[in-house]
């Protein structure tokens, strides 16, 4: 099968598409022929991704929106749906701030739940009618390996990621045939988010950033950080027709770090 055209008739909405895993996902889906709708807060960053996609003969459009402003988000995505259905939805956004769970405020939990679970839920409800009409849909959530094993010093994130996984599993039981929802669980990935977490952890421990990274990597059999494109390749597979019979799973892409089977 020619993978460069496997998604040629599909439109994909990628949240958090300006950097990191979101950007890599947009590039991977565009390479497979999808029309990519890039959504994030920073126009300049999105334009750079759009230009890179065009340079490789792909097609991309832009939505500037903030997942914390769901009214604006839904208004802009609704306007995009007037141009055609969205067949692939990538729910992806930056994780909650680091810190021990007992130091987290109620507002920390409420903000994170809204940004992750509520935005994903409302976007799914919005794009689902078009998926049903076209008899094809892929909803993919980029969350975390903390779904299986909570990560120290990420109390709010651990809680919200688990909620996202349970939400997705519930949705998977209600979607009609040919429309699937799955989760990707990235391990330690070379992104801006991971750099911020390393700096925060180093500050807390009074150690160097390199020391923190080496401690993390000592738990990864592959012995290195993942590159965003490696996560994106797994997402692109789940977005394709090849993954038709995969539904409701949480797939770690973590270099073997998880201890669970």
Residues 67-88: pLDDT tens digits? Answer: 999 999 999 999 999 999 999 9
Q: Degrees (nearest 5) of the Cα angle 16, 241, 58?
A: 50
Provide the pLDDT for residue 1: 47
Provide the pLDDT for residue 135: 97
Q: Is 239 helix (H, G, I), strand (E, B) or coil?
A: helix
Report the run of H or E that residue 52 belongs to, with start and end: helix 43-55
Q: Is the pLDDT score of 247 beyond 50?
A: yes
Phi-psi region of 100 (alpha: psi -120 to 50; beta: other; left: phi over 0): beta
Q: What is the rounded average pLDDT of the residues 157-170?
A: 97
> Which CATH number applies to 3-187+228-253?
3.40.50.720
Q: Give the span between the Cα atoms of 136 and 173, in whole angstroms.
A: 16
Q: What pTM was computed for the model?
A: 0.94
Q: Is the pLDDT score of 120 beyond 60?
A: yes
Q: What is the rounded average pLDDT of the residues 204-212?
A: 84
Of 189, 172, 184, 195, which Cα lies nearest the Cα of 225?
A: 189
As a 3-state breakdown, the chain gives helix, strand, coil percent values, each rounded to 5, of: 50, 15, 35
Q: What is the rounded average pLDDT of the residues 89-101?
A: 93
Tokens of 16: 């958090």
Which residue has 């539904």 as its token pair? 247
Q: What is the rounded average pLDDT of the residues 228-257?
A: 97
Q: What is the rounded average pLDDT of the residues 90-94?
A: 95
Q: Is the pLDDT score of 194 beyond 90?
A: no
Cβ neighbors of 90 (< 8 A, separation 6 or more) are 12, 13, 14, 15, 17, 22, 25, 140, 142, 235, 239
Provide the pLDDT for residue 2: 54
Of 82, 84, 74, which Cα lies nearest the Cα of 34?
A: 84
* Contact present, 32 and 110 (Cβ < 8 Å): no
Mean pLDDT, the chain, whole residue set: 94
Residue 48 — φ and ψ, nearest 5°? -65, -40
The pLDDT > 90 percentage for the chain reads 83
Q: Is the pLDDT score of 3 beyond 70?
A: no
Provide the pLDDT for residue 192: 81
Domain ranges (residues) in the chain? 3-187+228-253, 189-225
> Which residues on neighbouring strands pair with residue 252, listed in sequence order?
185
């Amino acid at each position: 099968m020619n993978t460069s055209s496997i998604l040629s008739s599909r439109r994909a909405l990628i949240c958090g598409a300006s950097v990191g895993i979101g950007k890599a996902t947009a590039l991977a889906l565009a390479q497979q022929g999808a029309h990519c709708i890039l959504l994030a807060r920073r126009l300049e960053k999105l334009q750079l991704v759009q230009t890179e996609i065009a340079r490789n003969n792909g097609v991309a459009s832009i939505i500037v929106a903030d997942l914390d402003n769901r009214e604006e988000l839904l208004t802009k995505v609704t306007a995009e749906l007037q141009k055609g259905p969205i067949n692939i939805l990538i729910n992806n956004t930056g994780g909650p701030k680091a810190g021990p769970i007992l130091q987290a405020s109620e507002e920390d939990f409420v903000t994170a739940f809204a940004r992750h679970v509520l935005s994903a839920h409302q976007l799914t409800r919005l794009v689902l009618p078009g998926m049903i009409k076209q008899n094809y849909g892929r909803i993919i959530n980029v969350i975390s390996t903390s779904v299986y094993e909570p990560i120290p010093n990420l109390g709010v994130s651990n809680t919200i990621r688990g909620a996202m996984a349970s939400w997705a599993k519930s949705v998977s039981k209600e979607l009609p045939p040919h429309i699937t929802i799955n989760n990707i669980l990235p391990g330690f990935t070379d992104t801006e988010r991971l750099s911020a977490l390393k700096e925060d952890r180093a500050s807390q421990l009074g150690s160097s950033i390199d020391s923190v990274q080496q401690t993390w990597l000592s738990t990864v059999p592959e012995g290195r950080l993942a590159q965003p494109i490696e996560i994106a390749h797994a997402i692109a597979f789940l977005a394709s027709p090849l993954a038709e019979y995969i539904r409701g799973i949480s797939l770690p892409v973590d270099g073997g770090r998880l201890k669970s089977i």
